Structure 1
Amino acid sequence: MLRSCWKSRHKCGPGPSASPLLRLCVCLCLCACATRRGCAEGLSDTKTVVHKDADFDVTYNDTVTNDVQTIYTFNHTVSRNKVHITHTHKHCRIASTLVTMLATAPTKVLSSVAPRYQRKYPYAHVGRTLCQPQTRALSETQFFFVDVSTLSSQRVNYLLRVSRVESFTLQTDKKFSFVATPSQPQYFKYVFPDGVDSVIVKVNSQMNFPCSVMSIQDILCPVYDLDNNVAFIGMYQTMTTTAAITVQRKDFPSNSFYVVIVVKTEDEACGGPLRFYPLQPDELIDAGNRSKALDVVVSPAINSEVYVMGMLFCLGIFLSFYILTFLVACIENKRMHRRREGLLNTPSVSPAETGNGMTPVSPYEYGSIDNGSTLSSEAVTDSMASADVNYGYMEQSLDSVGRCRQESLSSVEEDDYDTLADIDSDKNIVRTKKFLCVSDLARKDKRVLSKKYQIYFWNIATIAVFYALPVIQLVITYQTVVNVTGNQDICYYNFLCAHPLGALSAFNNILSNLGYVMLGLLFLLIVLQRDIVHKRALLRNDLAALECGIPKHFGLFYAMGTALMMEGLLSACYHVCPNYTNFQFDTSFMYMIAGLCMLKLYQKRHPDINASAYTAYACLAAVIFFSVLGVVFGKGNTVFWIVFSVIHIMATLLLSIQLYYMGRWRLDSGILRRMLYVIYTDCVRQCSGPMYIDRMVLLVMGNIVNWSLAAYGLIERPNDFASYLLAIAICNLLLYFAFYIIMKLRSNERIQCLALVCIIFTAVVWGFALFFFFQGLSTWQKTPAESREHNRDCILLSFFDDHDIWHFLSSIAMFGSFLVLLTMDDDLDTVQRDKIYVF
């Protein structure tokens, strides 16, 4: 082929004035489009080359066949350090044949073939923008050539027009409107003004489809402005109605760049179907059917001062909580000191009498009494060791009920108690009473329980290290891929408010997670202070610490604070490159926080029978495992949803039985026989109500909620399985918390001022946080182009968006929720444990 083309170079070249190398280049392109016989026998036998001198802004009406090839020669003067742009436009009146337009410059070749929609229907209009390379001379006349050819044996009539592009450079903050089609891509130049180091390029359209691509490219010739090569260099993203890319001066040595807009021939990349299906196979589709009107605006991005203000604002908010906590701690310490002095001055008054002034409720008044009947004296005697039927029971001083607890010098383990037969018998007697007190379920040695609950903290610390390290490595890889390839569709940012810093594409979304870490650390410090105070009270044998209030075990609180800090770290990792494959990083420790909060609520009144750390974390690991399976296989998979719904319902039933019977049941081969026996005795022989009415009400409501959620998942099959699973955990936590508060008030317990303020403050903050969460600035459940339709501008300090405010408020709300759990039973610190009810 090369030999044939070289022999025919004098016939097919652009003219005697052009160099032989240029004529050979043109002939090589013609050979690639020639027929097999033409390349074998030489162009001189198959092609008649017509050479024409042409002028700008003149329309040429001509015909072309496979035997006739027309080359148009254009010349113009170029100047040093100036890019000259021309636009070629060709219209074929007969578009059922393939026509190739070839434009050549002294160092570049630019070809354009009329694209085919659905690989069957061609376009009648082709337009390309040709970039002339710069010249070293002060002024130089350059030539470029437009070659029109076809493989069709029929005559094809066409119109050709070449014109200079006048409106080519974009102006700052000025909207420029234009129309693009798949066969007529558009690109424009932008030059950074002095003092501007970063700009944001926004492209908008009123039309969702056709799908388009917006690309930012360096100043090079030729420009990659075709559907099949627009992703080769620079940064790019698909778009329907909105696209936005932040461009930094440091990435472009020439201080300028091209904004390239390409309309795709099909819409799958943007999540849309093929919109045009012609009835007649030979019907011509007009290119205007896929034309798209667009607007482009280039605006200066934020400067370094806004970055500094955003960081100072973030630090200031959360440091204020440290200051406020310090002031409250000082006031509380002073109040407790005065109270301690008052107790020392009145030794004859018992701590129970100088406590919160609560009048103990009678066993006749506690709980739900079915049919309004009164309890028998035997039931009252069984539930309370010393009760007065007419008055309830009399408060006793701590001195009269204080028990001397001798601690063994040997190692104390929980199994040392559980292996004794008499303890098992005692468990059955105590836990099956109709009315239980905390003293009934706080019988194990405090050292045993302390070790048991400290395992929660050490386990979650270990989990955090091994979970976080691969996550950090993965998101760094994601960010590197985005920076190297320029593919902005990998990560689902709010591109209208994504402020880069260094290698990070959205630094503001990462910075806003600082609150989780700082407030989690603050909560750990608060828990540590309470732990130290409690241990000092135990060392001085303070009877109030030994015999009064909810047993204080801080291991779960330490685990909750650690989980809050890890939630901030992993949420920041997720927002390095948010997408559906790493959304689990953002939710894994949310599951743990919800689970630990429920365990802490249950532990308050059931310290002896709460789940061990190993069992709890194994259940949470199963939840995370199903979360991963749901993200990978859950979308539209009927089998998965059936299996998950069955497991969800079965787990709810088993947990209900465990809670109702306080663990005094066995899952073995005889369970069905025992179930039938209970049904027969309680429902058939006699219609008796449940023994533990309060627990039954809670569990019935819990089963209704969980069965409803399981049915919703099975019917609707939500795409965001991780959020669905998190909603299940949150609903159960809220239900149990509401039950706890109601039962606490029904037991004539009161909520102190600090706890009440925390509850009200937390509820208000949660309300505002959820409002910003549901704004939905992006969603990985859709295509990247559809996700960008939800993007919005920054609303706080020109630096933070709605989701950043969600991070701020949710971290504060979680911190407040933890404080509620920590302080809600402070009113019982001077109440004897045999007068604190279990519910």
Structure 2
Amino acid sequence: MAAVMGVLGIFALFYVGAFVAFCFRRGNTAPDVLEPILLEAQNRPSDYGSISTPLIGRAATIRNSESENLSRSSSSQDITDIDLMPDAYSDKNVVRTKTFLFLADLSHKGSRFHGQKSQRYMWNLLIVSIFYALPVLQLVIIYQKIINDTGDQDLCYFNFLCSHPLGDLTDFNHVYSNIGYVLLGFLFIINTARRDVRRRQPQANHDLLENFYGIPQHYGLFYAMGTALMVEGVLSACYHICPTHANYQFDTTFMYIISMLCMLKIYQTRHPDINAEAHAAFSVLAFVVVLGVVSVFEKTLAFRIIFSVIHLLVCVVLSAQVYYMGRWKFNFGIFKRIYMVLWIDFQTGLSNWFRPIYADRMFLLLIGNLANVGLSIYGLTERPKDFASYMLTIFITNLMLYTSFYIIMKLRHGEKILCQAVFYICFASVSGGAAMYFFINKAWTWRKRAAESRVLNQECTILNFYDSHDIWHFLSAASMFFFFMTLLTLDDDLTYIPRDRIPVF
């Protein structure tokens, strides 16, 4: 009983800390009068954001004055015969191919549109969670009943030296230790809701701040992340009712979802107009889950080769999507277009072949693709038995690379990382590193026979109730919570910065 209540007490400290942080930040409101240099945004035209630099703005003013002079000096000439090409500063095919983009260029669709689009992730996730979790729960309960009726201890893999039964559950402590995911996921939803409510409250310059300043605030993906963390706790608990190779996919599926949601959120931050639709993202995840199911039964080299080909093709397609900001088409004409680009670059100088138009994006994609090629080679040569963990490694690696790139680019452009975000980054790193240590130190494994797995069994290490895998649950839940909070607070320094000064990367 003391062990159960002790864990609740530890996670209650997170709620206390969140309440203290809320009280500390409660008095921080938007200034009644913005800095004079920012007030210029009020006088921008309705197509604010389509012109990113003062130079272009001055050029537009010059063109307007020239057109007025022409209309005065030449009455015989109709000014409508002159095409000033205003669409060049609002057409997305032009704007998104500029060498240097600002957030205003990619936030034309308005906060209401972005908010509705973002909320679809939450509703799609809830539907997926219900239809996925209920059959899983039914299956593991049947497994538990078989164990209780037959006494077969080789059906599931437990740490028998630290396995505490409760009621019909054979291994209550490993089920209960997943409560951290549920509690911290719910706390993250509360923190997100607090920010959402605060944003909606009327304040000075509310509409101006909502449409022209800071990162566009739409919280659907954050709600989905918190919900996914809670569902991960439920599914991990289901897996630990009867841990087997076949059941392990239940524990990893929502880790895939969490990783993808985080990457989508990072991309959405500075690309609000071109983020993926919810149904498209979950369609990709459905395909990943299908591969995970197939991997349980199919372990041949042919399957690994097919998976590696699919993996690398997806990397190429996503790289093109990110590099060209969605302004490319995959059809039979793509080879002709590639040939024309290479031929033009050859005529203008071979050095152009190695000089990317968007250097920052190319650097990110180069590092990411090299990492994915390395993971693909590892999967083909080593052929890890735990294919679900191998796929999860691919997701986590790409998420960590993208997060690191985002933070580095943020610092490179002279932006700040506030103390609160630094605190979350440090705690996420420390708790994540410690969690991996306890994850590797296994007390059982279904990669071997049941009798061989028992040789690895270990005594309880904390309160004579929890073992190293329970500690992994606690620390990984804390690490994911701190990582989520990092994403939630990382761009707080940009709240009162005009969007036409916030770079896109």
TM over 0.5: yes
Q: How many residues align?
A: 463
| 1:770-801 deviation per Cα after TM superposition (whole angstroms, max 9, x unaligned) | 11111011111111111111110000000000
Return closer, same or farther for 1:790/1:424 CA change in 2, 3 Å cut-off.
Answer: farther
| 1:318 equivalenced with 2:21 (yes/no) | no
> For 2:156, what is the secondary structure of its paired residue?
coil
1 CA distance for matches of 2:466 and 2:204? 50
> For 1:795, what is the secondary structure of its paired residue?
coil
Structure 2 counterpart of 1:669, one-letter code = F
Query: Which residue of structure 2 aligns with residue 507 of structure 1?
Result: 172
Query: Which residue of structure 2 aligns with residue 332 of structure 1?
Result: 25
Q: In the alignment, is the contact (CA less than 8 A) between 2:51 and 2:89 conserved in 1?
A: no
2 CA distance for matches of 1:561 and 1:679? 46
| 1:671 equivalenced with 2:334 (yes/no) | yes
Return closer, same or farther for 1:348/1:703 CA change in 2, 3 Å cut-off.
Answer: closer
**Aligned mate of 1:759, from 405, 408, 425:** 425
Query: Which residue of structure 2 aligns with residue 819 of structure 1?
Result: 485
| 1:669-690 deviation per Cα after TM superposition (whole angstroms, max 9, x unaligned) | 2111111212222246422110
Query: Which residue of structure 1 aligns with residue 73 of structure 2?
Result: none
| 1:528-571 deviation per Cα after TM superposition (whole angstroms, max 9, x unaligned) | 11111112248973422331110011000010000000000000
| 1:654 equivalenced with 2:320 (yes/no) | no
Query: Which residue of structure 1 aligns with residue 75 of structure 2?
Result: none
Q: In the alignment, is the contact (CA less than 8 A) between 1:500 and 1:507 conserved in 2?
A: yes
1 CA distance for matches of 2:387 and 2:203? 47
Equivalent positions of 1:729-768 (< 5 A) are 729-768=395-434
> For 1:531, what is the secondary structure of its paired residue?
helix
2 CA distance for matches of 1:703 and 1:538? 45
Return closer, same or farther for 1:785/1:598 CA change in 2, 3 Å cut-off.
Answer: same
| 1:245-298 deviation per Cα after TM superposition (whole angstroms, max 9, x unaligned) | xxxxxxxxxxxxxxxxxxxxxxxxxxxxxxxxxxxxxxxxxxxxxxxxxxxxxx
Deviation at 1:738, TM superposition (A): 0.6
**Aligned mate of 1:527, from 181, 192, 199:** 192
Query: Which residue of structure 1 aligns with residue 145 of structure 2?
Result: 480
2 CA distance for matches of 1:328 and 1:683? 58
Return closer, same or farther for 1:532/1:539 CA change in 2, 3 Å cut-off.
Answer: farther
Query: Which residue of structure 2 aligns with residue 471 of structure 1?
Result: 136
| 1:745-770 deviation per Cα after TM superposition (whole angstroms, max 9, x unaligned) | 00000000100111111111111111
Equivalent positions of 1:131-210 (< 5 A) are none
Structure 1 counterpart of 2:405, one-letter code = F
Q: Identity of counterpart residues, as a percentage? A: 50
Query: Which residue of structure 2 aligns with residue 551 of structure 1?
Result: 216
Q: In the alignment, is the contact (CA less than 8 A) between 2:432 and 2:479 conserved in 1?
A: yes
Q: Which runs of 5+ in 1 are unaligned?
A: 1-307, 354-381, 394-421
Deviation at 1:581, TM superposition (A): 0.9
Query: Which residue of structure 2 aligns with residue 258 of structure 1?
Result: none
* Structure of greater relative contact order (alpha carbons < 8 Å, 6+ residues apart): 2
**Aligned mate of 1:622, from 287, 298, 311:** 287
Structure 1 counterpart of 2:424, one-letter code = C
Return closer, same or farther for 1:586/1:685 CA change in 2, 3 Å cut-off.
Answer: same
| 1:497-530 deviation per Cα after TM superposition (whole angstroms, max 9, x unaligned) | 0000010000000110000001100100111111
> For 1:472, what is the secondary structure of its paired residue?
helix
Deviation at 1:707, TM superposition (A): 0.9
Deviation at 1:351, TM superposition (A): 7.9
Q: In the alignment, is the contact (CA less than 8 A) between 1:351 and 1:830 conserved in 2?
A: no
| 1:448-496 deviation per Cα after TM superposition (whole angstroms, max 9, x unaligned) | 2111110000000111111110000000000001111111011111111
Return closer, same or farther for 1:626/1:480 CA change in 2, 3 Å cut-off.
Answer: same
Query: Which residue of structure 2 aligns with residue 541 of structure 1?
Result: 206
Deviation at 1:326, TM superposition (A): 0.4
2 CA distance for matches of 1:351 and 1:323? 40
Richer in helix (by share): 2
| 1:724-750 deviation per Cα after TM superposition (whole angstroms, max 9, x unaligned) | 000000000000001000000000000
Q: In the alignment, is the contact (CA less than 8 A) between 2:53 and 2:500 conserved in 1?
A: no
Structure 1 counterpart of 2:215, one-letter code = I
Deviation at 1:713, TM superposition (A): 0.6
Equivalent positions of 1:447-462 (< 5 A) are 447-462=112-127
Return closer, same or farther for 1:602/1:772 CA change in 2, 3 Å cut-off.
Answer: same
Equivalent positions of 1:252-331 (< 5 A) are 308-331=1-24
Query: Which residue of structure 2 aligns with residue 443 of structure 1?
Result: 108
2 CA distance for matches of 1:349 and 1:704? 45
Structure 2 counterpart of 1:731, one-letter code = T
Deviation at 1:599, TM superposition (A): 0.2
Return closer, same or farther for 1:677/1:348 CA change in 2, 3 Å cut-off.
Answer: closer
Q: In the alignment, is the contact (CA less than 8 A) between 1:351 and 1:544 conserved in 2?
A: no
**Aligned mate of 2:459, from 793, 805, 809:** 793
Richer in strand (by share): 1
Q: In the alignment, is the contact (CA less than 8 A) between 1:438 and 1:836 conserved in 2?
A: yes
Deviation at 1:333, TM superposition (A): 0.6
> For 2:399, what is the secondary structure of its paired residue?
helix
2 CA distance for matches of 1:787 and 1:570? 23
Return closer, same or farther for 1:558/1:351 CA change in 2, 3 Å cut-off.
Answer: farther
Query: Which residue of structure 1 aligns with residue 476 of structure 2?
Result: 810
1 CA distance for matches of 2:344 and 2:148? 71
Q: In the alignment, is the contact (CA less than 8 A) between 1:442 and 1:607 conserved in 2?
A: yes
**Aligned mate of 1:643, from 306, 311, 324:** 306
2 CA distance for matches of 1:781 and 1:640? 19
Q: CA RMSD in A?
A: 1.9
| 1:292-333 deviation per Cα after TM superposition (whole angstroms, max 9, x unaligned) | xxxxxxxxxxxxxxxx01110111111111111001100111
Q: In the alignment, is the contact (CA less than 8 A) between 2:120 and 2:278 conserved in 1?
A: yes
Deviation at 1:632, TM superposition (A): 1.7
> For 1:443, what is the secondary structure of its paired residue?
coil
Return closer, same or farther for 1:790/1:536 CA change in 2, 3 Å cut-off.
Answer: same
| 1:702 equivalenced with 2:395 (yes/no) | no
| 1:667-723 deviation per Cα after TM superposition (whole angstroms, max 9, x unaligned) | 112111111212222246422110100100110111111111111111111100000
Structure 2 counterpart of 1:331, one-letter code = F
> For 1:608, what is the secondary structure of its paired residue?
helix
> For 1:433, what is the secondary structure of its paired residue?
coil
| 1:381-436 deviation per Cα after TM superposition (whole angstroms, max 9, x unaligned) | x9843149xxxx9xxxxxxxxxxxxxxxxxxxxxxxxxxxx799801110011110
| 1:385 equivalenced with 2:53 (yes/no) | yes
2 CA distance for matches of 1:584 and 1:727? 14
Q: In the alignment, is the contact (CA less than 8 A) between 1:500 and 1:506 conserved in 2?
A: yes
Query: Which residue of structure 2 aligns with residue 693 of structure 1?
Result: 359
**Aligned mate of 2:235, from 570, 584, 587:** 570
Query: Which residue of structure 2 aligns with residue 773 of structure 1?
Result: 439
Query: Which residue of structure 2 aligns with residue 219 of structure 1?
Result: none
- In our comparison, the structure showing a higher alpha carbon Rg is 1
Return closer, same or farther for 1:684/1:655 CA change in 2, 3 Å cut-off.
Answer: farther
1 CA distance for matches of 2:494 and 2:159? 48
- Normalised by the size of structure 1, how large is the TM-score? 0.54
Structure 2 counterpart of 1:557, one-letter code = F
2 CA distance for matches of 1:564 and 1:752? 25
2 CA distance for matches of 1:506 and 1:706? 37
Q: Which runs of 5+ in 2 are unaligned?
A: 40-49, 59-86
Q: In the alignment, is the contact (CA less than 8 A) between 1:538 and 1:546 conserved in 2?
A: no
